[in-house]
Structure 1
């Protein structure tokens, strides 16, 4: 999966926070909803502009960011 197809960073949108392309929903928003107990199905129902692929991209983006943090802190 190419994250650039789904996740974008634009300083003019949500202060440059990583967002799902074509929406103003941030990666953090989606992670917060999932961490708060909202299921993927509920999230898709509540936000019809989102797709399963968007949610997968959010999770992949967060995992990649975590990997970068772990690698940089180990250096």
Structure 2
């Protein structure tokens, strides 16, 4: 899967944050929902314009960002 088929960034939409194409739903929101314990089914029911492929694209996008070292460094706490 090519995440670029599902995700893009437009400076005029959500300040240029990466979003699911055809929506104003950000990659950040999808990750937050998963982090809060939402399931794929819950997300798809709450946001009917999304598809399973668009949700998978979020993780492919994130994976590529990490491979390209587009992340924030932090120190582990004790």
TM-score, scaled relative to structure 1:
0.89
Kindly report the root-mean-square deviation, in angstroms, between the aligned alpha carbons of the 2 structures.
Answer: 1.4
Query: Which ranges of structure 2 fall in alignment gaps of 5 or more residues?
Result: 74-78
2:66 is equivalent to residue 39 of structure 1:
no
- In the TM superposition, what are the counterparts of 1:1-75 in structure 2 within 5 Å? 1-69=1-69
Cα displacement string for residues 19-72 of structure 1 (whole angstroms, at most 9, x for unaligned residues): 0000000101000000110000110011111100000000110111111117xx
Between Structure 1 and Structure 2, how many residues are aligned? 71
Q: Which has the higher contact order (CA 8 A, sep 6+)?
A: 2
Large movers: runs of 4+ above 6 Å: none
> Comparing both structures, which one devotes a greater share of its residues to helix?
1
TM-score, scaled relative to structure 2:
0.85
